[in-house]
Amino acid sequence: MEIRRGLWKTCRVIASEPRLQLLWYLFAEEELTVTTCCQLTGLSPSNTSFQLKMLCECGLLVFRRKKMEVFYRAEANSAVNFAPEVLEALRGCYENEVAFKTLVRHATAFTHERRIEIFRALSGRSLTGLALRDATGMSSAAMGRHLDKLMRRGYVTEKEHSYYIGAAGNLLGRTLLKLAVR
């Protein structure tokens, strides 16, 4: 059974440097305990557990218990919507040493369900501001705020009073854009 989870909620989880740092350590090692993760990151045990739980809930980690210890590993839970594609893209960013700030910047373009609506409305076409507002049902003010964020990140561009989807800059951005419009 696939767990339906909005892409925007998954992006809120990955738009965090501490969670990305934990994920990078887990990419480097096969498995880590909470205690080891605390030592590597300098986070408190409760904060580390919370960050790992967030990554598990969006399907990017799995865990197993052995007596009193919990072991985590970077493995997609295929029952969680988007998890395999997002984890694969993040692993590619890890291998290419993409900076956390860059990843957070790209992920935050997708951290609101209204931005996903804008991507879907613009998928394969350009729309005027009025047509985009009608297609999404957003107020002009809300649409302006979301378009501003998307345009600053290069995901939406404007030409001759029409908006269209721009080019995503890295593997994570391309993957999130593909998932947003499907």
The sign of the dihedral angle between the CA atoms of 32, 36, 41, 44 is positive
Give pTM, 2 decimals.
0.91
Bridge partners for 4 per DSSP: none
Higher confidence at residue 5 or residue 150?
Answer: 150
Q: Range(s) for CATH 1.10.10.10 in the chain?
A: 7-96, 104-181
Q: What is the pLDDT of residues 90-142, one digit of tens each?
A: 999 999 999 999 999 999 999 999 999 999 999 999 999 999 999 999 999 99
Find out whether 91 and 76 touch, Cβ atoms under 8 Å. Answer: no
Q: Which tens digits make up the pLDDT trace of 53-96? A: 999 999 999 999 998 889 999 999 988 889 999 999 999 999 99
Given a cut of 60, is residue 1 above it in pLDDT?
no
The CATH classification of domain 7-96, taken from the options 3.90.180.10, 1.10.10.10, 1.10.3260.10, 1.10.390.10: 1.10.10.10
